[in-house]
Amino acid sequence: MTYTTLSLTLIFVLIPLLLSKTLKLDLEKDTIIATVRSIVQLLAVGYVLKFVFDSEHIIYILLMITLMIGTATLNARKKGKAIKGITWKIALTLIVIEAVTQGILLGFHIVPATAQYIIPISGMLIGNSMVLSILFLNRFTAEIEASRDEVELILSLGGTPKQAIHNQLTNAIRASMIPTIESQKTIELVQLPGMMSGQIIGGADPVQAVQFQLLIIFALLTTAAISSILIGFLSYPTLFNERMQIIKNSISK
Amino acid sequence: MNSLNEIAISFQNVFYEIDDLSILNNITGEFYKGKITTLVGPSGAGKSTLLKMCNGLISPTTGDIFIGDQPIHSYEPTHLRKSVGIALQSAPIIRGTVFHNLSLPFTLQNKKLPEKDAISFLEDVRLDHTFLHRQAEDLSGGQKQKISIARSLLNRPKILLLDEITSALDPTSVNEIEQLILKINQKYGVTMIWITHNIEQAKRIGHYTWIMMEGQLLETGESTILSTSTNERIQQFVNGVQDL
Ligand SMILES: Nc1ncnc2c1ncn2[C@@H]1O[C@H](COP(=O)(O)OP(=O)(O)OP(=O)(O)O)[C@@H](O)[C@H]1O
Ligand SMILES: [Mg+2]
């Protein structure tokens, strides 16, 4: 695709702009900002990736992964600001995800150890883990907020913080994992997964595209399980002090 | 108060603040072993806050609390809370059956509560065995209170903290619960602190009383001070309550 043809795709931006203007949806500004952002960001990513793929140097690969983990961490931590040390807890979770998944993929020679594989797969898994962490933190704080009485009751009867928070923790872990599992049940033709579509358009063999999609789907299950469980077990202790008391305002934003 | 009484809990210059807001203001006083002390005072006086401190759910901002002759913070929190039981004001219920709720203190210690023991605890609070497998959330406010009382007895605490445990009960049930608590007090020598808005109840059941207002301890003494106090604010409070 040339830049001339690419610029023609801006028609797709014009249509919602016009509609928004006529119907007074007041979405023009957001649409323009979103468009400019995606152009700048994605093109930048494209050129950076090209550079990394061409050089195929381990330092650049590590740098890219660090960048992805860093960005994802900053995104996710907004949801858990009330939890002490949430930033490094999310970062640690993402690092574990990356280490476990790449360890398996590269260790068993499932994919070649080249930037072309490592970086996109890392991107998808880290991105997903970030979304999961956000889902988890939302749900976890809501669960605790809604059942403060119950948490206090269990503590008052001589239960430990872990016992007091157990239901809320498992509920939140389950709730954040369900979308991953559900979405995989419903993958079908009308909703070809993005990566697969991209590969097919790029000229890859559809069967091979499916194989990679399956790889991602399976890896996402591990990602989902590890991220919510890890972030859960890392974050719950910060809600209590060493006297096993609920820390005031540890939850509410 | 007579000096022969052994001290079960003592407060020494206890202050409690939340975000610079004073909740408890320089509380100093004693609760006696094996006695029932009632805690009365207007809403927001800080009664529940004080009770939660005795169970270690919260700690003073400054000041000391002693359980027996040891500072409260020297006890391991789960041990403290098992021997200083509390029936919380909101009578919280966890999702599940009455049996599930009743056996919670045991479940937390990986012990099983035999069903026949559960039934006898239920009968103590005048609920029959058919309640055992009902969903606790579906119970009435008063029934939940009864479950909460029974549950607080399971650990056989040496000190029992009762936060308005009869506020949602009918007169017959109030009487039955009072008899039950008095029996436990006499039979096992359990030290009790009982918060109530019912001044008549405080006179009936309490050996001693603490009268609190706006985070301060106004007066302590035998329950008779509820009638004989010369403090104007106390007289007003007591009479106001009786007029209701
Ligand atoms: N967690 C909290 N956050 C903010 N304020 C609190 C908190 N807990 C208690 N307070 C405040 O402390 C004061 C005392 O509350 P407490 O529950 O001890 O009163 P109480 O004497 O038990 O009243 P009632 O008879 O209505 O139960 C109240 O003004 C209350 O608003
Ligand atoms: Mg109260």
Q: Is residue B53 part of a domain?
A: yes
Quote the pLDDT of residue A196.
Answer: 81
Task: Give the position, in ligand 1's atom list, of the atom nearest the Cα of B51.
Answer: 18
Quote the pLDDT of residue A201.
Answer: 87
Quote the pLDDT of residue B3.
Answer: 56
Decide if B156 touches A, using CB distance below 8 A: no
Confidence (pTM) = 0.86
Q: pLDDT tens, B57-80?
A: 999 999 999 999 999 999 999 999
Quote the pLDDT of residue B244.
Answer: 47
Decide if B186 touches A, using CB distance below 8 A: no
Task: Please name the residues in contact with B230: beta carbons below 8 A apart, sequence gap of 6 or more.
Answer: none
Q: Is residue B39 part of a domain?
A: yes
Task: Please name the residues in contact with B110: beta carbons below 8 A apart, sequence gap of 6 or more.
Answer: none
Chain B CB contacts of A161 below 8 Å: none
Q: B85: distance to nearest CA of chain A, Å?
A: 7
Chain B CB contacts of A150 below 8 Å: 92, 94
- Tell me the β-bridge partners of B62: B15
Instruction: Give alpha helix (H) positions in A56-160.
Output: 58-77, 86-107, 115-146, 148-156
- Residue scoring higher pLDDT (A131 or B220): B220
- Domain with residue B214: its CATH number is 3.40.50.300
Q: Do B104 and A160 touch (CB under 8 A)?
A: no
Q: Is residue B117 part of a domain?
A: no
Contact by Cβ (8 Å): B38, B206:
yes
Decide if B96 touches A, using CB distance below 8 A: no
Q: Is residue B81 part of a domain?
A: yes
Chain B CB contacts of A158 below 8 Å: 78-79, 81-82, 105, 108-109, 155
Contact by Cβ (8 Å): A145, A251:
yes
Question: What is this model's ipTM?
Answer: 0.94
Quote the pLDDT of residue B51.
Answer: 98
Percent of chain B with pLDDT over 90: 95
Cα–Cα nearest to B217, from B31, B87, B76, B93: B31
Whether residue A194 has pLDDT greater than 80: no
Q: Measured between alpha carbons, how far is B219 from B213 in angstroms, rounded to an integer?
A: 10
Cα–Cα nearest to A133, from A91, A165, A186: A91
Q: pLDDT tens, B150-184?
A: 999 999 999 999 999 999 999 999 999 999 999 99
Quote the pLDDT of residue B159.
Answer: 98
Q: Please tell me the distance between residue A117's alpha carbon and the centre of ligand 1 in angstroms.
A: 59
Domain span holding position B30: 7-91+157-238
- Number of domains observed in the structure of chain B: 1
Closest listed ligand to the CA of B22: 1
Quote the pLDDT of residue A253.
Answer: 43
Decide if B1 touches A, using CB distance below 8 A: no
Contact by Cβ (8 Å): B196, B219:
no
Give CA separation, B10 vs B13, B46, B64, B72, B95, in Å. 10, 17, 8, 10, 36
Ligand 1 lined by B89 (C-beta under 6 Å): yes
